[in-house]
A and B are shown apart, each in its own frame.
Chain A
């Protein structure tokens, strides 16, 4: 009888542990669910084209770079009727594992396959030649321009940032503006470089505060609104009245800080004025739009049309790959000068630097 009593206690403990674990597990598995549901709800137009998308760490739902790519994919799925398969990178993985992801997408019959983020460059460089009949694209990298079945889709972030820098310099009343970068990488430094150049073109003696939320390999700076808020609040406290963020999902915190300080902020990637809550909208003066969604859509469209993109394609001001938004009417006094700069950049009269001088 005693034995039974003990056994009962053990099973009870195990059961209790299982319940706790199960509860934890249920929480963990929730947010990933929508990321992988294959949606094939298109018209019959596209002859069963299967698009594979390999996200960087964070995947769909990062409210940033990956989401922008996802938006382009969704548009293609509904508008062009293609089937989509999405895979996501894991933390701590190697190039071999990225290669494996691309190979699995290729083996599953996806064509085209789009790799989101420069981290895929090495892996794609190995995989693409193994599948000469499949078209690949990579976002934010141009090291594979010589591989015939790879389209390198890059953006002139510095050009768009130059224009919002020019807007910020006009909008500031005190000659003091700020830049919040998500993660200190060469890519985000391009945003900073353009912004600083644009602001200095308007006001050569302007004071520009710069901060980065995290250092690689800590990429949480792209998804940490609390850090963004602290950083921006610090800048407003030190006298800035316009802050531009290139910090992905952390940008929400920058807007919150702008709202409580009664100052202005500039969004990034998408037209963030449109996505913001009504009470936050007034502080979002403009946004530097980076059309990752357009690049993804273009790639899928070109494949549906039977002429898949290859080689280098730079989404710059000229082709509308980057732009500043005008949905907030408060920006209208400053757009004339920005458009003037835009013309000069497109004509080549102004060369925008890609690395910060400071």
Chain B
């Protein structure tokens, strides 16, 4: 059953990879990378059971966290053009609230 799950995840990864390579817009690529990261987390979890060591679930959890942070950073970059500019904008927004 784990073999079937791994095969299904790998098929999904190949589809994501195709979209990341072919994707015409930036949004296609960002979304495919994020989704690919999720598939990697799932693959690691299944791989742990395939290799008989479910302790790999910890690594899958870490990957989930890193994937989330990386996606936030990419989107922040895409929104503000550079990573440092976003802080200034956020400060301005906070200043308006006061």
Specify whether A and B are partners.
no
A interface list, Cβ under 8 A from B: none
Q: Spell out B's residues near A (CB within 8 Å).
A: none
